[in-house]
Amino acid sequence: MRTRLAAFSLALWIGVGSAAPQPARPKNVILLIGDGMGVGALMQFIAAKGDKVLTRFPRGALVLTQPLNEDRWVTDSAAAATAMATGEKTLNGLLSLRPKASGFDTLRTIVEEAEARGKATGIVVTCQVTHATPAAFYAHASRSQEGEIAIQLLDSGLDVVLGGGTSFFLPVGEGEGRREDGRNLLNELRRRGYHVITDTLEFRRAGVPLPVPVIGLFAPVALAPPPERRPTLAQMVAKAIATLRTNPRGFFLMVEGSQIDWAAHSNDAARELEETQDFVAAVEVALDFATADGNTLVIVTADHDTGGLAVTGGDRRNRQVEVRYVGGEHTANPAPFFAFGPGSDRFPGMMANDFIGKVLMEFVRQQ
């Protein structure tokens, strides 16, 4: 590490007076994914609640989300998350695996890469931590194998894991446990040194920074929807950042507003608005940290659009909004993308989702 720093200073020295400046590279990366948060979901939020947070991003873009499947326009969360987590596209349904002539190639994830370089890593979501989007960042499986994904979390090296999903970690007969193999993965995590937190009060009392490594699971499966959600996504993100930032080599944090997608699947616009608000509040926490820190890249994007929501009417004077969905499935509409901080100039106005993963992987490797 010392050699690399010296080489970097030398490059800076030689660079004095020359035309090409060194490209800025972030020390920390925070990737916030609104699952299913298409441009229409954002427009509904902006119309109803205002645009104070998203207008703080100096850069924006559109992301093409097509999976590796040549006969598909529309992605699922597994393929889209894999593209951002590894820089490689895969087939719908697969998590950081890609089919080859026989069997699968294992795609290296940004969490694995960051861990290998001594950086801190974290995942904060409002679904179960074994669900498709978070799982693509640390596991190699089919998205339906949530019991197996929970086992793979044991060896992930993740420093901070916050979300829901105790039932995937406990055996049948213990609480809401649904594991058929009799394993109690929460006890196995404790034996590996994890601080295991399973209720909100304990989370509040655990202080800041949290003891690491830490896993906080606040529901048997997904967290309750807002306004009952405790902790909120923003509360979890605040503690995660305060914890991860103590690593002098920097950190990678993935945050997901997981249930925007679920509300959109059921064409529940009011609930989709509340979920988007919960997500944007977390974006604001990340942005405030990055603004003060100066070495942090914040990216806000979606894995795909869900429902094809559009604002079709309403009254601007009282922020009344009318919306319509085209259906209950994902669509191929490009996903919105916002970037703030060093490295944000690496992203063009239109890109494929695996390009995001490629650039982030490069940033983690260059540190």
Query: What residues are labeled active site?
Result: 77
Of 113 and 261, which has the nearer Cβ to Zn ion? 261
Of 254 and 260, which has the nearer Cβ to Zn ion? 260
In the bound complex, which residue of the shown chain has the CB atom lying closest to Zn ion? 261
CB 26 within 8 A of CB 297: yes
Rounded to a whole number of angstroms, the minimum distance from the CB of residue 195 to Zn ion is 32
Determine which residue in the list 113, 159, 256, 261 makes contact with Zn ion, applying CB under 5 A.
261
Of 121 and 259, which has the nearer Cβ to Zn ion? 259
Rounded to a whole number of angstroms, the minimum distance from the CB of residue 161 to Zn ion is 22
* Peptide bond between residue 227 and the one before it cis (omega within 30 degrees of 0): yes
Asked if 275 interacts with Zn ion (CB under 5 A), we say no
In sequence order, what are the beta bridge partners of 28?
296
- Binding segment for Zn ion (CB under 5 A), chosen from 8-16, 21-29, 259-267, 354-362, is 259-267
- Binding segment for Zn ion (CB under 5 A), chosen from 19-27, 134-142, 258-266, 358-366, is 258-266
Of 112 and 261, which has the nearer Cβ to Zn ion? 261
Q: How many CB atoms lie within 10 A of CB 284?
A: 16
- Binding segment for Zn ion (CB under 5 A), chosen from 111-119, 246-254, 256-264, 348-356, is 256-264
CB 347 within 8 A of CB 337: yes
- Binding segment for Zn ion (CB under 5 A), chosen from 109-117, 261-269, 291-299, 338-346, is 261-269
Rounded to a whole number of angstroms, the minimum distance from the CB of residue 262 to Zn ion is 7
Of 36 and 341, which has the nearer Cβ to Zn ion? 36
Rounded to a whole number of angstroms, the minimum distance from the CB of residue 77 to Zn ion is 6
11-42 per-residue burial string, b: 16 or more CB within 10 A, e: under 16: eeeeeeeeeeeeeebbbbbbbbbbbbbbbbbb
User: Nearest CA to 311 among 300, 299, 323, 301?
Assistant: 323
CB 94 within 8 A of CB 109: no
Q: How many residues interact with Zn ion (rule CB under 5 A)? A: 1
SS3 256: strand
> How far does Cα 367 stand from its chain's mean position?
21
Asked if 113 interacts with Zn ion (CB under 5 A), we say no
- By the 10 Å C-beta count (0-12 exposed, 13-18 middle, 19+ buried), 50 is classed as exposed
What does the binding site for Zn ion look like in residue numbers (CB under 5 A)? 261
